[in-house]
Structure 1
């Protein structure tokens, strides 16, 4: 009996699993799929949902080369096969091949886009597929001819011999030169019309970008009908951000639907489909208490208003998805209407505004937030919550307004200071956290260096 071990192959992601088999005069027993042990050794936690069996009556039965858009864990329940794989994914490894004999002591993990085939070496062989998506009868998936000369698979029983049993369909599959490579799963960006959505779309030009008209995240039927099998990553930039309106009866319901219920639905889909879900949060989930060094990712949630409460609920829901990143941020500035553009306009029009000086934080430019998103995904950083803002000295809104005036050619003294309490007098406003500084230590530990907020502000205004 061998120890459980996993070996790599020349095809990226294709893994050979050597299984311990316990045998005696009665036969044998094996743990064909053991999630905890196998994942600990490096097998992807691919979330199988269906187990299929293929019975092969006689030696020489040959099937493939089939390339379904899901991951597989293949093995034999009885008998033995010669199995072969061809990488059909777009990229440098397209056309790479690997083969191995599979008996009761060997299994193979086959990633999405790698063509799978085998030839029975014994009568009565049963071949097992554990897959992470549901088979759809009648749907046509990419395939490759078993006799493709480029793949040159060394079938132990020659395909032209009378002993090799091949279906007419498999005999007529195309050769490699006529096969369109399988593209990787796509990225979906929700909230595409917002400041952040636009920055993410610029970073991921091949992504599917949707707004509420294309995909209403609060519509259960629309979510169920979406082709999630085509996607691997969801960047959820959709949110209800009318902070003050969220305190009204109408706004409260809309905020809970968009900021809590919708992320919870995406988290359930991500868990079921094995998707990576990136969700964007806010300093409003905290009460604004002054914390030395800034709020960390472990600071207890204590939202003051409805907006913050709904965002906190969304964070809790998203954290239930196995593959999730929650990017908590502050004072977001991008293309479109925002505080910096308002101050720039007032400076140009000769207005001298009064701006709150008791709320302290850092600006976060959307291109920086998008850059951090790409870094976490590309680096394979541990899933979880990360604070993301621009770096530098924390400042008040009044400080930033004065800097905008200065960069616009106005005297910064034209901006006067007020308090949050004074500014809110007579208005229906949601409570604001006064201290919004977030610690960036956890993000920095992943190798990401945040750009300075003051430098980013100057660049932002210079590019206007």
Structure 2
């Protein structure tokens, strides 16, 4: 008896499996769908939710070419058929054709956007298929004429002699077909520092935020803490969700009102998105913080992805809770980062403004970490999504030696033409003397970048990125 095998085809993602048949005088038995073995061979873990059977009474029945917006896993329970597939997706493979003979020992995985058809070669043929979305009335999708001259499928039984539905006789030729677009990406928190960076790396993404702005008519409103709003959103249209929304007012989170807002945005909303991602097989990308650690890790190698959580303040605790929730969904990238600098109000802009105004600030020198530019965090996100890196948690920051906030302030002053000595270093204890309502900060925020480097991503040096960030637009590379 042959082993279960998987064969690739000219259509990207469409694969043929050869299924062992266990036969004896009574008949045969096969493992029609065996997730563990098939995924190990390279079949996508596509999560079927519905099983359908199409029984064909007579030889010559011909169905398709239908391009349904979900993945399919097709095989026969009885009989023989001729299977034909045409790639109807946007891209270089549009119009590529593949055919194969079908019997109970053959199965074919058909990716979303690939036109599916078959012709029955024996009476009483039962064609069975798994799909990973429930059928919905009113769903429109591309279809193709069975006799399209461009793809020129060599049907074993001439179409003039075949049984074909009236609908399939009226399908368009390839030159009139609108290719199926890929599922979309959604950026949540599109108006924030990170959201604005993500928009550049994911230019075709749909954009949502908690607020609507007349300056950004392409950004729709979505409150991810609103269960009704989440339930009404068309998640079946998406493949990737980038959750850049967060409550980041660290000190305000210590107030009664701030505590509620922090937990709603940083814990409740990610938990809801994790459930949605699991239900709809989405890739959920969520952004977290080194604040989930207490800052006691050694500077070398720094905080690692598997370090036990040890949050100090309310903000940190809400982010840690969000991390735990996101980790429950199968397809997730949890990116932990530190000291984010982007397009908006931030530490670097504040120091540059003080340098310009002639102010000489006091800046803490016992909180150590690395800057993460929003553009770098977005670049890492694009890399993980495109490369198909293993799902899980990744630390992301710019590269370079760990520095204090005072070191960074001096660097900003120097780049801006001020004497770095105009920045006075001060301990956190002295800086906070007499102040109330201040959340505790981790003293060591440096994170190990070994894991993301192993995926082929090389972080940019923080000092180089800082100089580029502060350079006039006309001088930037």
* TM-score when normalising by structure 1: 0.97
Which digits, 9 at most, give the CA deviation of each residue in 1:255-299, with x for residues without a partner? Answer: 111111111111122222221111111110000114132111121
1:377–1:140 Cα change, 3 Å: closer
Of 312, 324, 344 in structure 2, the residue corresponding to residue 336 of structure 1 is: 344
Q: How far has the Cα of 1:24 moved from its partner?
A: 2.0
Of 452, 455, 459 in structure 1, the residue corresponding to residue 464 of structure 2 is: 455
1:68 aligns to what?
68
Instruction: Give the match's secondary structure for 2:123.
Output: coil
**Count of paired positions:** 462
Instruction: Give the match's secondary structure for 2:164.
Output: coil
- The reply to whether residue 394 of structure 1 matches residue 392 of structure 2 is no
> Where in structure 2 are the equivalents of 1:63-142 lying within 5 Å?
63-142=63-142
Instruction: Give the match's secondary structure for 1:69.
Output: coil
Q: How far has the Cα of 1:252 moved from its partner?
A: 1.1
Deviates more, 1:441-450 or 1:3-12: 441-450
Q: How far has the Cα of 1:25 moved from its partner?
A: 2.3
Which digits, 9 at most, give the CA deviation of each residue in 1:131-166, with x for residues without a partner? Answer: 0111112332211011111111111111112xx111
1:247 aligns to what?
254
- The reply to whether residue 216 of structure 1 matches residue 223 of structure 2 is yes
RMSD: 1.2
**Structure 2: 5+ residue stretches without partners:** 212-220
Which digits, 9 at most, give the CA deviation of each residue in 1:105-149, with x for residues without a partner? Answer: 111000000000011112222211200111112332211011111
1:288 aligns to what?
295
> Where in structure 2 are the equivalents of 1:344-359 lying within 5 Å?
344-359=352-367
CA distance in 1, matches of 2:259, 2:122: 66
CA distance in 2, matches of 1:57, 1:137: 26
Deviates more, 1:117-126 or 1:86-95: 117-126
2:454 aligns to what?
445
CA distance in 2, matches of 1:180, 1:57: 33
1:206 aligns to what?
204
Instruction: Give the match's secondary structure for 2:159.
Output: coil
1:320 aligns to what?
328
- The reply to whether residue 230 of structure 1 matches residue 237 of structure 2 is yes
Q: How far has the Cα of 1:310 moved from its partner?
A: 1.0
Instruction: Give the match's secondary structure for 2:77.
Output: strand
Of 261, 267, 270 in structure 2, the residue corresponding to residue 263 of structure 1 is: 270
2:440 aligns to what?
431
Instruction: Give the match's secondary structure for 1:160.
Output: helix
Q: How far has the Cα of 1:349 moved from its partner?
A: 1.3
Instruction: Give the match's secondary structure for 2:259.
Output: helix
CA distance in 2, matches of 1:323, 1:363: 28
**Structure 1: 5+ residue stretches without partners:** none
Instruction: Give the match's secondary structure for 2:167.
Output: helix
1:182 aligns to what?
180
CA distance in 2, matches of 1:77, 1:220: 42
CA distance in 2, matches of 1:126, 1:351: 80
CA distance in 1, matches of 2:137, 2:185: 27
